[in-house]
Structure 1
């Protein structure tokens, strides 16, 4: 065990499922003793997800146990290990695992209740004690800030592309929506696999950035309300896309049905677009497609994803505005105002 053994550290807690960013409070917490299977991490950075914004607004549909230390996504340096730990050593850069109990295979009723920053204490703290199974070694080509973006958005994107019965392969086509974390990661992973990617966005400036990341086609959904039909026409052979990474929810689902090809998959990620008319319940039948709910992914998937990031030298896209540990509420408000491109990061 390393000599360094802090006894306390600051942490940001969600104290209620109402009030938004004002429900976040900073406290000093004791650092637990390192037991045989534990890894003590000095946290260096966290990143925000849409999930983090809606938990203190009472809109999150999964388990939340307040007060809870906020955020699921973090990275840091291992500063102490227990006597039985074999996977990590002091000095390693690690990222958190979103569902602490989801090691491999499918989610189940137990592992779905082990999400960081909701059911369990999260990463927005100076020091965090994790079981060895709850961490993943970060890709060697990334900084702490970049590694902090991986546990939720990146793994979700990876699962959307590779977790279904027909995983993505070279020559397939993918549609991504907007410029949030999941969508940008899906774009990067799909291009690394040799796929054709169509992206949607709301501005010409963002369209140029998406093209720079490799998007083959970019459609402005503000000026082209029927973007799903356009995406189908512009897809290879005009047949529609193999996978739609659906992040907006009901409001965009009718257009996703227009975009997806016969026997394609709509990976349902979230509902950032709010309520809308999701179309007929028979649409998956009439469109002959699959709708698959995706709730992040396993440690095994994250390890595979990290290997892809290293081999392809993929760099996560981080917003230019990086916040410090004392201005956490400002980071939440910034992301809520949709001022970001890519991931919003907080340095610790």
Structure 2
């Protein structure tokens, strides 16, 4: 089988395509023929050497394919089933604990950039009916993050207004989930072409944040001064103050991304005087993923895919991802 191994200390030039014998499933395991993977910021940090990894680690947390064999005591899957990986194989349901977040594919153990992977059966869920393997491979990280931030923690409901920032995959998934829930969506971007695409995806109003630096106030104006009910906050330090300004009294901010850094000055009075609820979101549980997949099927939702690359061109895929010009997921075909 073909797979990618990342040699320490990391860097795109240290991604090696190698051939090894396929593994065999043990008790409680499934053997999956991976057909597609997708890239995320955490993967980019890892392959660039910003997240220390063991030498020879197989990267990537998100992958989908079909089950080819199952070990003893596995009754959840059978050969031929279409499956998609979970981000935290030991976070099955409920709230995260230190023990359930301990292992992540592509970081603490070998990930999905491999034609065959052997993992515990709980490391996968079934894929949505009617999805291609590539479509399913987009869901593990960004899809579940948007779902947990907006639905599980945000409890979005019909009539709410949701503000999504930019055109990254979390924001695009959140836009679709919000519309499926009967909410109104305000979306931001820096380019008119992307704003037009957001409108075609269902955004009810758009804001060019470069043309309108006080876009938080503009979002509030678009709600007749009330403020938005939810913000999918993916920017971090440079955007958080505007997200707070956009929120209604008692609104919710799903704090997800660090695109602009890791630390920020926050107006504490603006938070408590307006009773704004801030939820830190780190992907979600296996049960969250299963709930999301059922919602995807009921609402016939499809992910947005930007480009696909063959496995051998994984370095080129990360270069394209790092340029931050993509609209939707960057994927690999295996």
TM-score for the superposition, normalised by structure 1: 0.92
Determine if the alignment matches structure 1 residue 335 to structure 2 residue 321.
yes
Alignment RMSD: 1.6
Aligned residue for 2:34, secondary structure, equals strand
1:347 aligns with 2:314: no
Which structure 2 segments of 5+ residues have no match?
none
Query: Which stretch shifts more, 32-41 or 244-253?
Result: 32-41
**What is the number of residues matched between the two proteins?**
334
**Once the 2 structures are TM-superposed, how far is the Cα of residue 58 of structure 1 from its aligned partner?**
4.4
Name the counterpart of 1:240. Answer: 227
Matched, 1:14 2:6: yes
The 1:65/1:263 distance shift into structure 2, 3 A limit, reads farther
* Residues 1:41 and 2:27 aligned together: no
Over 3 Å counting, the alpha-carbon distance change for 1:200 and 1:17 in structure 2 is farther
Match of 1:313 in 2: 300
1:282 deviates by 4.3
Contact persistence 1:70–1:117 (CA under 8 A): yes
Q: String of CA shifts for 1:185-211, please: whole Å, max 9, x gaps.
A: 000001000001110001110011100
Residue number in structure 2 paired with 1:23: 14
Give the structure 2 partner of residue 90 of structure 1: 79
Residue 174 of structure 1 pairs with residue 166 of structure 2: no
Give, in whole Å, the separation in 1 of the partners of 2:315 and 2:186: 34
Contact kept? 1:77, 1:94, Cα under 8 Å: yes
The CA deviation at 1:281 is 4.2
Deviation of 1:30 after TM superposition, in Å, equals 3.6
Instruction: Choose from 133, 137, 141 the match for 2:130.
Output: 141
| Equivalent residue number for residue 41 of structure 2 | 50
Query: Structure 1, residues 247-295: CA drift from partner, whole Å, max 9, x if none?
Result: 1101100100111111111111111123674433444223421211100
1:225 counterpart residue number: 213
User: What is the rounded CA distance, in whole Å, between the counterparts of 1:157 and 1:66 in structure 2?
Assistant: 32
User: Is the 8 Å Cα contact of residues 155 and 305 (structure 1) preserved in structure 2?
Assistant: yes
**Is 1:74 aligned to residue 63 of structure 2?**
yes
270 and 14 in structure 1: CA distance in 2 versus 1, 3 angstrom threshold: farther
The runs of 5 or more residues in structure 1 that have no matched partner are: 1-8
Per-residue CA deviation, residues 193-242 of structure 1 (Å, 9 max, x unaligned), is: 0001110001110011100110011101111111000001102x431111
C-alpha spacing 1:276/1:234, structure 2 compared with 1 (3 Å): farther
> Within 2, Cα distance between the matches of 1:181 and 1:24?
24
Residues 251 and 275, structure 1, Cα contact 8 Å, conserved in 2 = no
The CA distance in 2 between the partners of 1:340 and 1:191, in whole Å, is: 22
How far residue 316 of structure 1 moved from its aligned partner, in angstroms, is 0.4
The CA distance in 2 between the partners of 1:29 and 1:161, in whole Å, is: 41
How is 1:184-199 mapped onto 2 (pairs within 5 angstroms)? 184-199=172-187
- For 2:101, what is the secondary structure of its paired residue? helix
